[in-house]
Structure 1
């Protein structure tokens, strides 16, 4: 097979605009090598010969399957258990105490991890709640894990992790919740695998978001850094619509909702900053 022609600047611009409309993820020129390499690989894999042929396939594929394959390749999935654990402490020490004040008997508490990557974050939340929240048995807790990458979601559902991924899990919790496999990896127990509902979600697709409602806590950490200002605002508004009044959203340490949207109240618990959807009659400021 002949070599694929180099991706031109015009090709890159056309693809970047298409991918942005589909996902909200913005690629600038600093990502040229990363994007070009993956485009070239898919051009070869689909026998498209050149960018124009492949781009036609990408746009006109009725099932959207090729767009999903490329999306899986273009997204970054690097995480580990109990990453930025101070926010999990904030969840059990402060946030949930406020959330339950507005719950009636039998109401579920809904926690959403987006993006959840290979599952470390939602499973960390589940373990932390089991270990640190004294009221866990009084409420039905529903945990959702979402990502745009279908391959990584399939990995999350298996719950198998490398020693590096679980190195932050305390030994007693490793013994309690994990089983060591013959290849040296670790698998999280079936009960915890069953406790998280994983679902493919694209924040740019209203149909994907329609399944989420009355969410009480969202962990959206290190996603919005890949968006431009317009996509960040749209994401903030989408999250806002899925949340219960008084619900909270936790961002990554380098992200600030105050620079994105005025919809949320800034809340500080100790040294941890989170953002809250105002209750009826409250102002966001």
Structure 2
């Protein structure tokens, strides 16, 4: 088997690092600076090699002018750390507290919408589906719609394909792996077709309201471990987008190290037995 050639990383000047960081911030809200120099250099080098462009200014010019390369540029910098049943306590809160509250005034068959944003390669969105099938007795009484969204189009492609490694599946009990996944093939297991069809994946950028047009309103949003990569203005933009995407009385779940109270006072804090969540009044 032939080995891939070692990537020779192009050293960037301080000005070039700043240029990459500014463009990435405008596109995504994420903060990348001198403290992540090697991370930036590796990814820019890879994109320059693939596009055949020799200088950083020329490459950034391509990103600004070409939608396809801007998409590849964003994909190169997104961080897709995820796995099934991540922050399981929030899934417990979903079935034990949030959804029972949401459906109190709804009739059987009514629509209940849940949004995983960002969803990365799909593990967290599919986790919601599996958890509800296993843990919420009323799952079949309502029309549950689960939507997964992400800024990374490559990750969305993997989510739709539904192929997962043992690392992604490590926290799932073996019985659930056997019930909801096809037999292992090439060190991967594919989630069964019924579940692939039960989750809809769509592209969205949480700091760009135009990209979320048509997605609609949700009853519960799981937006975990993305605000930690933003500065204060980007966090506020994201919080406002989450608020606008919730039905009145809807809930948003953040990552364990994130707090909506430090960003905006538009949400009510709800302390549940299993989790701290935020409610749109």
Matching residue within 46, 50, 73 for 2:51? 46
Please report how far the alpha carbon of residue 122 of structure 1 lies from its aligned counterpart in structure 2 after TM superposition: 0.7
Q: Distance in 2 between matches of 1:153 and 1:196?
A: 12
Q: Would the aligned equivalents of 1:213 and 1:244 in 2 still touch at CA under 8 Å?
A: no
Q: Is the 8 A contact 2:247 2:280 kept in 1?
A: yes
Looking at structure 1, the residues matched to 168 and 63 of structure 2 have their Cα atoms a distance apart, in angstroms, of: 34
Indicate the residue corresponding to 2:238 in structure 1: 235
- Give secondary structure in 2 for the equivalent of 1:14: helix
**Aligned pair in 2 of structure 1 residues 31, 132: CA closer, same or farther (>3 Å)?**
same
- The 5-angstrom pairing of residues 8-87 of structure 1 reads 8-61=13-66, 64-87=67-90
Please say if residues 181 and 190 of structure 2, whose CA atoms lie closer than 8 Å, have aligned partners that are also in contact: yes
Deviations 1:151-191 (A, max 9, x none): 11111111111112112111221221111233132111000
**Which residue does the alignment assign to 2:4?**
none
**Aligned pair partner of 1:139 in 134, 142, 167:** 142
CA deviation string 1:73-115 (max 9, x = no partner): 1111121110110100000001111111243554310000011
- Equivalent residue for 2:253? 250
Is the partner of 2:214 in helix, strand or coil?
coil
Unaligned regions of 5+ residues in structure 1, if any?
Answer: 279-285
1:238-277: CA deviations, max 9, x gaps?
1111110000000000101111111100001115100000
Question: How many residues matched?
Answer: 274
**Aligned counterpart in structure 2 of residue 108 of structure 1, from 102, 105, 111:** 111
Where do 1:124-203 residues align within 5 Å? 124-203=127-206
What is the TM-score normalised by the length of structure 1? Answer: 0.92
Contact 1:108 1:142 in 2 (8 A): yes
Cα contact 2:117–2:221 (8 A) shared by 1 = yes
**TM-score in terms of structure 2 length:** 0.94
Distance in structure 1 (CA, Å) of the matches to 2:165 and 2:131: 20
Distance in structure 2 (CA, Å) of the matches to 1:4 and 1:144? 38
Deviations 1:31-54 (A, max 9, x none): 111012211221222221111111
In the alignment, what sits opposite 2:122? 119
Q: Does the Cα contact within 8 Å between 1:4 and 1:43 map onto a contact in 2?
A: no
Q: Which runs of 5+ in 2 are unaligned?
A: 1-7
Query: Which secondary structure state, in structure 2, belongs to the residue aligned with residue 175 of structure 1?
Result: helix
Q: Secondary structure of the residue that 1:126 maps to in structure 2?
A: helix
